Amino acid sequence: MLTDAAVTPAWVWADLRTDHAGEAGAVCIYKGVLRFARDPALRVFAQHHLATEKKHLRLIEAWLPSVHHSRLLPLWRLAGFLTGALPALFGPRAVYATIEAVETFVDHHYEQQVFALASQPRAAVSLIRHI
Ligand SMILES: [Fe+2]
């Protein structure tokens, strides 16, 4: 668990808070899909990705102190659920298009964090010591 706030810059905690909120929301996206999806292939897809997102959430919760979790987690969970549930009402194509848009955003988000950490090695080292 990360505990050395004196060494880890505030912007890193902020980034990790968004990462945690994103993973919590991702879990709810697939719960939302599974609430309304009837297509068997889509349900298998959603169940597989729900398991993956639960794993991501467990990993980040294992080392991010709860004091750094977003106070808006209930809102992010609701937003995630609706992001999955609403397209599921329209069918697989709507769900897959939504997931593609979400994952494109997530890739860009994590890429920006990697670049930020790469440009500030002391911040990266402070994280690596805790992982
Ligand atoms: Fe994830």
In the chain, where does DSSP find H-type helix?
Answer: 10-36, 40-63, 73-90, 92-119, 121-128
- Please state the domain extents for the chain: 10-128
Q: Which residues surround ligand 1, an ion (CB under 5 A)?
A: 23, 26, 53, 56
Structure confidence at residue 3 (pLDDT) = 53
For 92-118, b where at least 16 C-beta lie within 10 A, e where not — what string?
A: beebeebbeebeeeeeeeeeebeeebe
User: Residues 24, 111, 64, 67: is their CA dihedral positive or negative?
Assistant: negative
Token readout for 111 is 């890429």
Please give the distance, rounded to the nearest whole angstrom, from the Cα atom of residue 110 to the centre of ligand 1.
Answer: 10
pTM value surpassing 0.85: yes
Please give the distance, rounded to the nearest whole angstrom, from the Cα atom of residue 26 to the centre of ligand 1.
Answer: 6
Please give the distance, rounded to the nearest whole angstrom, from the Cα atom of residue 23 to the centre of ligand 1.
Answer: 5
Token readout for 18 is 């968004």
Q: Helix or strand or coil: residue 129?
A: coil
pLDDT along the chain (131 residues), means of 10: 65 93 98 98 98 97 92 98 98 98 96 90 74 65
Nearest 5°: phi and psi at 78? -65, -45
How many angstroms separate the most distant Cα atoms in the chain?
50
Structure confidence at residue 126 (pLDDT) = 74
Structure confidence at residue 2 (pLDDT) = 55
Structure confidence at residue 19 (pLDDT) = 96
Total Cβ atoms within 10 A of residue 125: 12
Please give the distance, rounded to the nearest whole angstrom, from the Cα atom of residue 82 to the centre of ligand 1.
Answer: 17
